[in-house]
A and B are shown apart, each in its own frame.
Chain A
Amino acid sequence: MKTTFTRRGVLKAGTALAASTVFAEPIRAAAPPAEAVTPALIEAAKKEGKVVHYTSVDLPLAEKVAKAFEAKYPGIAVRVERTGAERVFSRIAQERSSNIHACDVVQSSDAAHFVVWKREGVLAPYVPEDVAKHYPPEHKDPDGLFASYRVYLCVMARNTDLVKAEDAPKGFRDLLDPKWAGKIVKAHPGYSGTILTATYQTARDVGWDYYEKLAGQKVMQVQSASDPPKKLALGERSIMADGIEYGVFQLKETGKPVDVIYPVEGSPLIVGPNGILKSAPNPNAARLLQSFMLSAECQQFNVDLGGLRTAHALVKDKAGRKPLSEIKVMKDDAAAVEKESEQIKARYTQYFKV
Chain B
Amino acid sequence: MTIAISEQVPRTVHGFDYTRVVLYGFALALVLLIVLPMSWLVYYAFSSPSGGITLSNFTRLFSESTFIDPLITTFVLATSTSVICCIVAAPMGWLVARTDMPLRRTTRLMVTASFVTPPFLGAIAWELLAAPNSGLINQAYRVLTGAPADDHLFNIYSFAGLTFVIACYTFPYVFVLVANALDRTPGDLEDASSILGGSAWDTARRVTIPLAMPAVLAGALVAFLQAMTLFGSPAILALPAGFHTMTTKIWSLFQYPPKPELAAAAALPLLILTVLLLRAEHMILGRRGYAVLGGKNSDPRIVPLGVLRWPAVLLCFGILLCPVFLPYGALFNAAFSRIASQVISINNFTFHNIYFVFFELSATKLAFYNTFVLGIATATLGTILALVISYLTTRQAVAGHRVLGFLATAPVAIPGIVLGVGLFLSYTRPPFVLYGTLWILLLAFLTLSLPAAYQQMQSAFRSIHPELEDASRILGATRLRALREITAPLLRTSVIATWCFVFVGTIRELSAAIMLFTSETKVISVLIFDLNESGDLAAISVLGIIMLIITFGIVALANRLRIGGGPVRLRNY
A82–B530 contact, CB under 8 A? yes
B519–A102 contact, CB under 8 A? yes
B362–A80 contact, CB under 8 A? yes
A224–B66 contact, CB under 8 A? no
A237–B519 contact, CB under 8 A? no
Binds A, one of B107-115, B254-262, B374-382: B254-262
Answer whether A82 and B534 are a contact pair too, CB < 8 Å, given A63-B362, A95-B436, A102-B518. Answer: yes
Cβ distance B473 to chain A, nearest Cβ, rounded Å:
48
What are the interface flags for A208-249 relative to B under an 8 Å C-beta threshold, 1 for contact and 0 otherwise? 000000010001111110110011011111100000000000
Is B12 on the interface with A (CB-CB < 8 A)?
no
How far is it, in angstroms, between the C-alpha of A102 and the C-alpha of B436 when the chains are bound? Answer: 9
Is A91 on the interface with B (CB-CB < 8 A)?
yes
How far is it, in angstroms, between the C-alpha of A50 and the C-alpha of B297 when the chains are bound? Answer: 68
Q: B residues within 8 A CB of A236?
A: 131-134, 341
Is B19 on the interface with A (CB-CB < 8 A)?
no
Q: B residues within 8 A CB of A90?
A: 254-258
Partner of B243, one of A82, A235, A350, A354: A354
Interface residue ranges of B514-541 to A (CB < 8 Å):
518-520, 530-531, 533-537
Partner of A98, one of B240, B241, B435: B435
Cβ distance B246 to chain A, nearest Cβ, rounded Å:
14
Answer whether A183 and B150 are a contact pair too, CB < 8 Å, given A223-B534, A236-B133. Answer: yes
B244–A353 contact, CB under 8 A? yes
How far is it, in angstroms, between the C-alpha of A65 and the C-alpha of B243 when the chains are bound? Answer: 36
Q: B residues within 8 A CB of A221?
A: 239-242
A223–B239 contact, CB under 8 A? yes
Candidate in B132, B362, B537 with the most chain A CB atoms within 10 angstroms: B362
How far is it, in angstroms, between the C-alpha of A210 and the C-alpha of B232 when the chains are bound? Answer: 31
B256–A93 contact, CB under 8 A? yes
Candidate in B131, B244, B535 with the most chain A CB atoms within 10 angstroms: B535
Is A83 on the interface with B (CB-CB < 8 A)?
yes
How many residues on B have C-beta within 8 angstroms of the other chain's C-beta atoms?
A: 45
A59–B255 contact, CB under 8 A? no
Q: B residues within 8 A CB of A238?
A: 133, 150
How far is it, in angstroms, between the C-alpha of A238 and the C-alpha of B134 when the chains are bound? Answer: 11
Q: B residues within 8 A CB of A80?
A: 362-363
How far is it, in angstroms, between the C-alpha of A222 and the C-alpha of B257 when the chains are bound? Answer: 20
Q: A residues within 8 A CB of B258?
A: 90, 94
Cβ distance B73 to chain A, nearest Cβ, rounded Å:
10
Partner of A100, one of B132, B360, B518: B518
B519–A91 contact, CB under 8 A? yes
How many residues on A have C-beta within 8 angstroms of the other chain's C-beta atoms?
A: 61
B519–A354 contact, CB under 8 A? no
Is A86 on the interface with B (CB-CB < 8 A)?
yes
Answer whether A191 and B533 are a contact pair too, CB < 8 Å, given A99-B433, A234-B341, A354-B243. Answer: yes
How far is it, in angstroms, between the C-alpha of A100 and the C-alpha of B440 when the chains are bound? Answer: 14
Q: Which residue of A lies closest to B133 (CB)?
A: A236
A63–B131 contact, CB under 8 A? no
How far is it, in angstroms, between the C-alpha of A237 and the C-alpha of B360 when the chains are bound? Answer: 28
Partner of A64, one of B157, B252, B254, B360: B360
B534–A224 contact, CB under 8 A? yes
Cβ distance B341 to chain A, nearest Cβ, rounded Å:
4
Is A352 on the interface with B (CB-CB < 8 A)?
yes
How far is it, in angstroms, between the C-alpha of A347 and the C-alpha of B88 when the chains are bound? Answer: 42
Is A78 on the interface with B (CB-CB < 8 A)?
yes
How far is it, in angstroms, between the C-alpha of A284 and the C-alpha of B255 when the chains are bound? Answer: 32
How far is it, in angstroms, between the C-alpha of A63 and the C-alpha of B23 when the chains are bound? Answer: 51
A237–B361 contact, CB under 8 A? no
Is B149 on the interface with A (CB-CB < 8 A)?
yes
B339–A84 contact, CB under 8 A? no
Interface residue ranges of B313-358 to A (CB < 8 Å):
339-341, 356
How far is it, in angstroms, between the C-alpha of A349 and the C-alpha of B253 when the chains are bound? Answer: 12
Q: B residues within 8 A CB of A190?
A: 252, 255
A100–B435 contact, CB under 8 A? yes
Q: Which residue of A lies closest to B155 (CB)?
A: A182
Q: A residues within 8 A CB of B256?
A: 86, 89-90, 93
Q: B residues within 8 A CB of A52?
A: 519
Is A97 on the interface with B (CB-CB < 8 A)?
yes
Is A67 on the interface with B (CB-CB < 8 A)?
yes
Cβ distance B540 to chain A, nearest Cβ, rounded Å:
12
Cβ distance B259 to chain A, nearest Cβ, rounded Å:
11
How far is it, in angstroms, between the C-alpha of A247 and the C-alpha of B153 when the chains are bound? Answer: 30
A58–B133 contact, CB under 8 A? no
Answer whether A222 and B356 are a contact pair too, CB < 8 Å, given A86-B255, A98-B428, A234-B340. Answer: no
Is B69 on the interface with A (CB-CB < 8 A)?
yes
How far is it, in angstroms, between the C-alpha of A63 and the C-alpha of B359 when the chains are bound? Answer: 10
Cβ distance B121 to chain A, nearest Cβ, rounded Å:
18
Is A328 on the interface with B (CB-CB < 8 A)?
no
Partner of B363, one of A79, A84, A231, A233: A79
How far is it, in angstroms, between the C-alpha of A121 and the C-alpha of B433 when the chains are bound? Answer: 23
Q: B residues within 8 A CB of A98?
A: 428, 433, 435-436
Q: A residues within 8 A CB of B537?
A: 230
How far is it, in angstroms, between the C-alpha of A215 and the C-alpha of B157 when the chains are bound? Answer: 16
What are the interface flags for B534-557 relative to A under an 8 Å C-beta threshold, 1 for contact and 0 otherwise? 111100000000000000000000
Q: A residues within 8 A CB of B428?
A: 94, 97-98
How far is it, in angstroms, between the C-alpha of A191 and the C-alpha of B530 when the chains are bound? Answer: 11
Is B116 on the interface with A (CB-CB < 8 A)?
no
What are the interface flags for B48-69 relative to A under an 8 Å C-beta threshold, 1 for contact and 0 otherwise? 0000000000000000001001
A-B contact pairs, 24 of them (CB 8 A): A54-B519, A60-B536, A64-B360, A82-B363, A82-B530, A86-B255, A86-B256, A87-B255, A90-B257, A93-B256, A94-B428, A94-B435, A98-B428, A98-B435, A103-B519, A220-B240, A223-B239, A224-B533, A234-B133, A234-B339, A235-B133, A236-B341, A237-B133, A353-B69
Chain B interface (Cβ < 8 Å from any Cβ of A): 66, 69, 131-134, 149-150, 157, 238-244, 252, 254-258, 339-341, 356, 360-363, 366, 428, 433, 435-436, 518-520, 530-531, 533-537
